[in-house]
Structure 1
């Protein structure tokens, strides 16, 4: 499997700051932030599955526009996976005929452009030989991370989270883990803000990495614009076994 980084920024502000979205092979998106909007129309038409970590705007921003752009050209509905709470939020606050049309009923409920599929922590969705498993995380809204498994190797994407024992335990079961994409949204001087908003800072990241028994390449995502260099300097000072580098827009990870 291949994961291409369409966006991995914690905010906007220029062409290199696209919010979180990853293209897996040619037909899967994991999260659908502003980065997905850079895909060509044909590439958008090829996407059949969108796996969401949670319902915050930086992770869902492109879904309404994507469905509107390609829904009529598709032979079957785009499937969006999320926790029951994530799907409830999308139905209530986005696809509600007020913010955006309800594409689960367009052109009709028998042949819609969009369908929702719930996924719970620990549940695995199999797409051919590929498997995506929802992992426990700790954020301000119900959220999950994902383990992507090609059969030959694995990649874990945490989504948005603060330090989580349950997540660490889940990652340690991934014995073929090649890549760990983990957020670090704030510098250490904003440790309190990281805790309140349930994100990571370098100190909390270090605590997490210290408890991992697997040995993946570690990639840092969700850096807040304007403080990315500061965050990565603090990450680089971490003295532990695993070293980390900043994830970059346009980067491709294979596993």
Structure 2
């Protein structure tokens, strides 16, 4: 299985794209601005969108995706998310004011958009791939995702504060290869990070100490103006043997 990083920044500008990861050719995790760089034919092949939560940087391109592929698709795109996130989409995005309700287009009986609830602990299987929603702590209801190819697993945190149930779930993954974990703010913005339920280098490193060694750990969702500082703080404070890399647009993780 291949996981392609379409976007992984905590902001825009200077080539930065917000969060979107592609599994194979028909599944994406979050629909941030990175999704917009795919060719039209590849956009049209997306059948499933799994959302970590409904904040704008993670859903920005979902409405535009549906509008773009509508003329060429004959089956709906299924959006998997918590009931809270789906309610937000219905109430605030696909409401005929901000954007058309694609559950009713092109016909109420044949909508291009289909919702499927996926709460913490739920699993969804596509061929050999199994996705499981894991608990995280953010300012709105949110989940992380475990992606299991049958040979190895990748865990993507989405947006989260330090959260014991998340770390317990990560530690329980018996075939964990890669952890993609957010660190949105540098240590000098610890108060803002706590208020917005994001991690800082100091708090992430404290939590990583409980995990086994040898993991491939990728850092995502860095704020653009501080991304170099965040990585310096992480690598400068990391214990010996802990290998941390910044997740980059264009990265491909095979598992």
| Equivalent in the alignment of 1:19 | 18
| Equivalent in the alignment of 1:3 | 3
| Equivalent in the alignment of 2:173 | 174
2:36 aligned with 1:37: yes
What are the equivalent positions in structure 2 for 1:132-211 lying under 5 Å apart?
Answer: 132-211=131-210
| Equivalent in the alignment of 1:249 | 249
Offset at residue 75 of structure 1 (A): 2.0
| Alignment deviations for residues 44-85 of structure 1 (CA, whole Å, 9 cap, x no partner) | 011100000000000000000000000231121000000000
Any conservation in 2 of the 1:177–1:215 contact (CA below 8 Å)?
Answer: no
Q: Report the number of matched residues.
A: 254
| Equivalent in the alignment of 1:63 | 62
Moved more, 68-77 or 217-226: 68-77
Any conservation in 2 of the 1:172–1:214 contact (CA below 8 Å)?
Answer: no
Secondary structure of the residue that 1:178 maps to in structure 2? strand
Secondary structure of the residue that 2:115 maps to in structure 1? strand
Secondary structure of the residue that 1:191 maps to in structure 2? helix
| Equivalent in the alignment of 1:81 | 80
Any conservation in 1 of the 2:213–2:242 contact (CA below 8 Å)?
Answer: no
Unaligned runs of 5+ in 1: none
Offset at residue 238 of structure 1 (A): 2.5
| Equivalent in the alignment of 1:111 | 110
Unaligned runs of 5+ in 2: none
Any conservation in 2 of the 1:2–1:252 contact (CA below 8 Å)?
Answer: yes
| Equivalent in the alignment of 1:228 | 227
Distance 2:214 2:145 in 1: 17
Secondary structure of the residue that 2:99 maps to in structure 1? coil
| Equivalent in the alignment of 2:99 | 100
Offset at residue 214 of structure 1 (A): 6.2
Offset at residue 207 of structure 1 (A): 1.5
Any conservation in 2 of the 1:18–1:33 contact (CA below 8 Å)?
Answer: yes
Offset at residue 138 of structure 1 (A): 0.3
Q: TM-score, normalised by structure 1?
A: 0.98
Any conservation in 1 of the 2:128–2:150 contact (CA below 8 Å)?
Answer: yes
2:114 aligned with 1:120: no
